[in-house]
Homo-oligomer: A and B are copies of this chain.
Amino acid sequence: MNDDAGTDSGLLAPTWAGSPVEALLTDEAWLRAMVEVEVALVRAQAACGVAPASAVTAIAKAAEAARLDVRHLARQSRAAANPVVAFVPTFTALVSAVDPAAAEYVHRGSTSQDILDSAAMLIGVRVLDGIGADLVRVADALARLADEHRHTLMAGRTLTQHAVPTTFGLKAAGWLTGITDALIRVRQVRAGLPAQLGGAAGTLAAYQEYAKLDGLGRDFDATELIAPFAAELGLAEPVLPWHVLRTPNVELGGALQLVVGALGKFALDVQTLSRTEIAELAEPPADGRGASSAMPQKRNPVLATLVVTAARQVPAYVSILSASMLAEDERPAGAWHAEWQPLREALRLAGGAAHTAAELAEGLVVDVGRMRGNVGLTQGSIVAERLNVALTPALGKATAKKLLTRAAQAAAESGDTLGNALAADEDLTGLISAADLADLLDPAGYVGPVDTLIDRAIRHHRAARHHA
């Protein structure tokens, strides 16, 4: 174990350790994004004519070559309670080595929060793009399952009990719809993530003041910087500096919540349906995956567990982002600082969960026979609701329900089928033929308009998919 190694490489976070999102969110990646923001700033200033092209050249060159000591900067960040204050002189020195005159143009007119918030949004966009691509993979796989298993009968379960029949295709269509809605929201939010540019107290005053030095004089309006700066970063242009208007952060958190929530629903169902006693689904096999340290026979639903693990954490992280909307003054003493780690962890978990879920969805093993077999476990009672409907004209809804309840209990106690219990019930004599009863008892006849429902979900998915 190396003392120089980082403090957290994901040992306790297998949801994202080693997944593609990890590299987007390392300390190094944050520093790199901060460098990119500084470059975009001077480019925007040059585009407005308030910085020389030579400064852009030198700063961009230094940025490309920059090797920064992450741990040293992390430690130094305690002095200002944020990493930018330590980063700026370090980066300035690198620029100075390239071109001393250009050093004056580093971070010119800027403030820590412009750099860090813009860097966060830059990272946010990249993570959302990755998530978007993975959600499309998940959705495509689920759409295939929905289509393929339109009529694969399985038990619909409510409050842990078999309720009425459904099909695995409709179940997959449900997962698909949740994920499609998350995808739509991810794209909306991604398109709106804004650059941050305000200067010390959100007035842009220093940006404007520096512009005077560079010959444009009093007529330069520093709001002109916002659009080119945002464009350089591929971010949206904000109405105002949002140092203390934290809507973008909360919208980003909300999108991540929909991602882990929709994926978590899918994963949780996979876990349930993988239970030894149910065994309708299994995770895609992979060498060594799902192994236990002690039990040779086990195959644990580890992909689903990685996804569920994310879904259990993100609501709390988002609640911190939400609470930070209560940000006093022009920059708060804590509310802003409390956002960074929960935002990072939420991004990592959502990114890792999406990547993991793609593997899970694409390789999901479906046991059609087991699904059909489980439907029969309650010996016919799974269609008791249908019988209730069918008997209503003859008996009225309430009386029919009482009769069915009685028959279902009798069947459960005797171990006999509901059909036999009903056939033996004197109150039914003459009301229904044996053939009609047999027909009604067929669960395949009681799955509702599953085709139409599945078609709706697939259409919704396709529309969203092609809208990208």
* Stretch in A131-139, A311-319, A425-433 with 4+ CB within 8 Å of B: A311-319
Please measure, in the bound complex, the distance between the C-alpha atom of A416 and the C-alpha atom of B295, giving whole angstroms.
Answer: 19
Chain A 217-251 residues near chain B, CB threshold 8 A = 221-223, 239-242, 244-247, 250-251
Chain A 324-355 residues near chain B, CB threshold 8 A = 324-335, 337-338, 340-342, 344-345
Is A205 located at the chain interface by the 8 A CB criterion? yes
Counting from the closest, the 6 A-B pairs by CB-CB distance are A6-B6, A261-B325, A156-B201, A297-B408, A203-B448, A205-B448
A-B contact pairs, 5 of them (CB 8 A): A78-B356, A157-B330, A160-B329, A170-B202, A213-B393
Q: Decide if B327 touches A163 in the complex (CB within 8 Å).
A: no
Q: Decide if B312 touches A164 in the complex (CB within 8 Å).
A: no
Please indicate the chain B residues that have their CB under 8 angstroms from the CB of A246 in the complex. 261, 265
Cβ proximity bits A354-393 to B, threshold 8 Å, 1 near / 0 not = 0010000000000000000010011001101110111011
Please measure, in the bound complex, the distance between the C-alpha atom of A242 and the C-alpha atom of B258, giving whole angstroms.
Answer: 14
How many copies of this chain sit in the oligomeric assembly?
A: 4
Given A18-B75, A107-B293, A164-B201, decide whether A13 and B112 contact each other with a Cβ distance below 8 A. no
Please measure, in the bound complex, the distance between the C-alpha atom of A297 and the C-alpha atom of B327, giving whole angstroms.
Answer: 23
Please indicate the chain B residues that have their CB under 8 angstroms from the CB of A242 in the complex. 177
Is A438 located at the chain interface by the 8 A CB criterion? no
Q: Which of B78, B272, B327 contacts A306 (CB 8 A)?
A: B78
Please measure, in the bound complex, the distance between the C-alpha atom of A332 and the C-alpha atom of B68, giving whole angstroms.
Answer: 42
Given A11-B83, A80-B291, A404-B296, decide whether A250 and B239 contact each other with a Cβ distance below 8 A. no
Is A209 located at the chain interface by the 8 A CB criterion? yes
Total interface residues in chain A, CB < 8 Å: 197
Q: Decide if A156 touches B296 in the complex (CB within 8 Å).
A: no
Q: Decide if B205 touches A161 in the complex (CB within 8 Å).
A: no
Chain A 174-207 residues near chain B, CB threshold 8 A = 174, 177-178, 181-182, 185, 199-207
Known: A163-B200, A203-B448, A244-B265. 8 other contacts (CB 8 A): A88-B293, A160-B300, A177-B245, A203-B449, A223-B452, A271-B333, A297-B412, A312-B335
Q: Decide if B294 touches A385 in the complex (CB within 8 Å).
A: yes
Q: Decide if A258 touches B247 in the complex (CB within 8 Å).
A: yes
Chain A 43-79 residues near chain B, CB threshold 8 A = 66-68, 70-71, 73-75, 77-79
Q: Decide if B26 touches A274 in the complex (CB within 8 Å).
A: no
Please indicate the chain B residues that have their CB under 8 angstroms from the CB of A460 in the complex. 239
Q: Which of B6, B26, B277, B290 contacts A80 (CB 8 A)?
A: B290
Please indicate the chain B residues that have their CB under 8 angstroms from the CB of A163 in the complex. 200-201, 292, 295, 298, 330-331
Is A419 located at the chain interface by the 8 A CB criterion? no
Please indicate the chain B residues that have their CB under 8 angstroms from the CB of A320 in the complex. 312-313, 315-316
Q: Decide if B276 touches A223 in the complex (CB within 8 Å).
A: no
Please indicate the chain B residues that have their CB under 8 angstroms from the CB of A145 in the complex. none
Please measure, in the bound complex, the distance between the C-alpha atom of A199 and the C-alpha atom of B165, giving whole angstroms.
Answer: 12
Given A240-B456, A276-B378, decide whether A293 and B111 contact each other with a Cβ distance below 8 A. yes
Q: Decide if A205 touches B22 in the complex (CB within 8 Å).
A: no
With a 10 A CB-CB cut-off, give which of A82, A251, A393 has the most chain B CB atoms.
A82
